[in-house]
A and B are shown apart, each in its own frame.
Chain A
Amino acid sequence: MKVLIVDDSKAMRMIVKRTLSQTDVGKCDVVEAENGAEGLAKVASEKPNLVLCDWNMPEMSGIQFLQKLRESGNHVNFGFITSESGAEIKTLALETGAQFIITKPFTAESLNSAISPCVA
C-alpha cells in the first residue's frame, strides 16, 4: 500500500501521515508532495494506491490536480483533506472524481471510515 499525501503545509503532511498510521491501513509507504503539480509528477513516478490531498495550494490546487488526473485517464483513489467545508466544494470534489472529502480537523476514526472502501 502506497499513499501520496499532497499538502503545502509540512505540519499538515506530518499530521496526515501520523493519523494514517492510526487507521486500519497501519504501516504503509508514504510519499509527499507540496502542491498539485508536484503531486501529478509523484503519481506518475510512484504509482500510489491512494492520494490524500489538500484543496488550497499554491501553483496547482487540489481540484485542478484531480481534474488533470482524471482527464489523463488516471483513476487512482483520491480523497481531499481540507479546511473547506462548503456544500458546493464537496459536490465539486465528488463530481470531479474524488472518493471522499474530509474537513480538518479530522480524527483517525473519520479518516479510517473514509479510506476503508478505497483500500478494501
Chain B
Amino acid sequence: MSVSAIHAPSLDDVVDLMHGLFALEVKPFAKTTEAIYSIAEYANKAGEVVGYIGCDLAGGCRLGAALTQVPAGRVAEAVAEGAIPESLVENLNEVFNISVNLIVPADGSRVVFKRAVHGSSDAEFASIREKLESLSKSEFCFDVARYGVCQMFVAN
C-alpha cells in the first residue's frame, strides 16, 4: 500500500460528513486517547486494501446510534458492557460504508468499503491492528450533539 495513494481528509471534511449523515450539530473536540475498537477496511478495484477508518468503542456506539437516532441511553449501556450491540454494529458499518468518501485516492480511482472488525474478540482484529502500526494515520476527535465524543482515525 502506497502511503501517498490517499489524500488525508481534514477535520472539516470529517465534521461535514458526520453532520450531513446525522443532521445533528457536530463540533471538533480536543483529542482523547481512547483505544481503537472498530476498524473498517477499504479496497480498490482489485480488492487490495488501500485504507482504513477506525474509532473507539464509545465513539462507535455513538456513531451507530446517531445514524438512526437510537436513544443516547442505549449508548451508555453498551459502553458500560464493553461491546457494541449487534444493532449498533449494523449501523456503524453503514457509517463506515458512507465514510468511504473520506478515502480519496490521488488518482481518483474507485474505492469501496470492504468490511469492518469490532473489538479484540474478533479473530482478525489483532492482525489488522498490527498493520496499522506501520501506516500513516490522521486522527480526528469530534462531538456529536446529543450523543457525545467520537475519536476516529483514517490510515493508509
Contact = CB atoms under 8 A, between A and B. Distances in A.
Contacts of B17: 105
B100 A83 contact: yes
A42 B132 CA distance: 43
Contact of B110 (A11, A15, A86): A86
B91 A105 contact: no
A15 B68 contact: yes
B67 A11 contact: yes
A83 B90 contact: no
Interface residues on B, range: 10 to 19
Given A83-B100, A86-B110, A89-B110, A106 B20 contact: yes
B112 A56 contact: yes
B37 interface: no
Interface string B76-117: 000000000000001101100110110000001010110000
Interface string A67-84: 000000000000000011
Contact of B68 (A11, A83, A86): A11
B81 to A, nearest CB: 21
B11 interface: no
Interface residues of A, number: 18
B21 interface: yes
B97 A9 contact: yes
Interface in A7-49: 9-12, 14-15
Contact of A105 (B21, B68, B90, B108): B21
Interface of B: 17, 20-23, 67-68, 90-91, 93-94, 97-98, 100-101, 108, 110, 112-113
Interface of A: 9-12, 14-15, 56, 83-86, 88-89, 103-107
Given A10-B90, A56-B97, A105-B17, 12 more contacts: A9-B90, A9-B97, A11-B67, A11-B90, A15-B67, A56-B113, A83-B97, A83-B100, A85-B101, A88-B110, A105-B22, A107-B20
